[in-house]
Amino acid sequence: MPLFRITVRRGRTPAQLRALADAIHEVAVRSFNVPEKDRFQIIEQREAHELFYDPDYMGVKRTDEIVFLQISAGKVRTTETKLNFYRDLAKSLEEQCGLAPDNLFVVINTSGAEDWSFGRGRAQMYQPSNPTLAAGE
Amino acid sequence: MPLFRITVRRGRTPAQLRALADAIHEVAVRSFNVPEKDRFQIIEQREAHELFYDPDYMGVKRTDEIVFLQISAGKVRTTETKLNFYRDLAKSLEEQCGLAPDNLFVVINTSGAEDWSFGRGRAQMYQPSNPTLAAGE
Amino acid sequence: MPLFRITVRRGRTPAQLRALADAIHEVAVRSFNVPEKDRFQIIEQREAHELFYDPDYMGVKRTDEIVFLQISAGKVRTTETKLNFYRDLAKSLEEQCGLAPDNLFVVINTSGAEDWSFGRGRAQMYQPSNPTLAAGE
């Protein structure tokens, strides 16, 4: 929580993929209120004929370096937090991985604290005594 | 926005996959209020032992041609729009790709305008002056 | 409805994957209000460099046997149902597949009855005469 799905065109080396995943997690910790040890990431590599993207929709220049980041989040976060996270993510991935900021596509989906189990058949984030707090911050 | 995930059994050619993705996008533009250039699609091919589906649940006859379409949407759409989209999609995929309408499985998931970044670290769809409009139509 | 995505490290045999998928469906029927024939599961196998998980976040001991279960649900379910489902799932996967309960990660995402088409271009779960009921139980 959250769970990150990172989808890219096949072509990066395992080391490059790890650097990308490392950088994403670092920003998540810094700007998305994710605990340091709360790291769960699935990388998905697609062939050329398995990935379609518009090269300039919204005035952004996309290439085959494109990174799709789908985030299943489990905390309600403010719009301000999200906007700051996008900015930090684009900046950091450029600095650390050489990713053009235009090549970063992000979508966040949020579900409740009771919708997550981190193992042992328990919903660790859910606190019945204060469900609002558990679902929120 | 939206982001389409198309999951199928491995077996179609790249040209057939492209035709399927093309047809889906065409219907999205026509019946799901998606701008022409707003095309983002991930195709996922699975082996026989990686895909389970019931062959006749709900009175529908499914085969290995089955197409799962998972849509991450970013606009609130009316139920009427969704119902019309399913109909148009089933009809068009049959006409253009020979897909039996029974073999089309769709699920839509909607998040807010502030949950999307199309690149450059910005949330292009989010308009702070009128968040309701931005999140809605 | 629901649609299950099962993500694992590559390494299990097809028979082991099937046993895992079978066991998950059995628990879904018993403890998650899923009809017996309502079985739709996508299995995703990832290489070592495509999957990152923390080995002990939340005091849970995770290994490369880890199973990520992402559930797209179409019915509103109570928290009690979810909590019971996690427990039953962890217990049953241990008994039937030898999966350590610590290695089960679950996240549920719920959308509405009108967000699903099981085929034929229809939204089978949506009942306009009583949308609340259709979306709920």
Measured from the Cβ of residue B33, the count of other Cβ atoms closer than 10 Å reads 16
* pLDDT tens digits along B33-64: 999 999 999 999 999 999 999 999 999 999 99
User: From chain B, which residues contact C within 8 Å (Cβ)?
Assistant: 7, 44, 46, 49-54, 56-58, 60, 62, 68, 70, 79, 82-83, 86-91, 101-110
Segment A76-84 shows an average pLDDT of 96
DSSP output for C62-113: --TT-EEEEEEE-S---HHHHHHHHHHHHHHHHHHH---GGGEEEEEEE--G
Given its phi and psi angles, is residue C21 left (phi above 0), alpha (psi -120 to 50 degrees) or beta? alpha
Going across the sheet that includes B3-9, the strands are A51-53, B40-46, B3-9, B67-73, B104-110, C116-117
Measured from the Cβ of residue C114, the count of other Cβ atoms closer than 10 Å reads 24
Give me the residue from A25, A43, A72 closest to C109, CB to CB. Answer: A72
CA atoms of B108 and C93, how far apart (whole Å): 29
Q: Do C107 and A74 touch (CB under 8 A)?
A: yes
| Cα–Cα nearest to A116, from C95, C47, B135, C60 | C60
Give me the residue from A3, A42, A120 closest to C60, CB to CB. Answer: A120
pLDDT value of position A128: 80
Q: Do A49 and B17 touch (CB under 8 A)?
A: yes
Percent of chain A exceeding pLDDT 90 equals 90
Residues of A in contact with B28 (CB under 8 A): none
* pLDDT tens digits along B13-35: 999 999 999 999 999 999 999 99
CA atoms of C104 and C93, how far apart (whole Å): 9
Specify whether C2 is catalytic.
yes
pLDDT value of position C135: 40
From A2, A14, A101, A128, active-site residue: A2
* pLDDT tens digits along C85-121: 999 999 999 999 999 999 999 999 999 999 999 999 9
* pLDDT tens digits along C17-32: 999 999 999 999 999 9
Contacting partners of chain C (3+ CB pairs under 8 A): A, B
Nearest residue of A to residue B116, measured between CA atoms: A107
Give me the residue from A51, A62, A87 closest to B42, CB to CB. Answer: A51
Cβ atoms B25, A54 nearer than 8 A: no
Range of the domain at C112: 3-135
Structure-token match 């006749």, residue found: B56
> Mean pLDDT of all residues in chain C?
93
Residue A119 DSSP code: B
Q: For position A41, which CATH number holds? A: 3.30.429.10
Q: Do B72 and A107 touch (CB under 8 A)?
A: yes
Query: What is the number of structural domains in chain A?
Result: 1
Measured from the Cβ of residue B7, the count of other Cβ atoms closer than 10 Å reads 21
Chain B interface mutation, best of C67, C71, C115, highest count of B Cβ atoms under 10 Å:
C115
> Taking 80 as the threshold, does the pLDDT of residue C1 lie above it?
no
* Interface ipTM > 0.90: yes
> Taking 60 as the threshold, does the pLDDT of residue B65 lie above it?
yes
Structure token pair of residue A22: 């490392």
Give me the residue from A46, A49, A101 closest to B14, CB to CB. Answer: A49
Contacting partners of chain A (3+ CB pairs under 8 A): B, C
Segment B114-126 shows an average pLDDT of 96
Nearest residue of B to residue C34, measured between CA atoms: B57
CA atoms of C77 and C111, how far apart (whole Å): 11
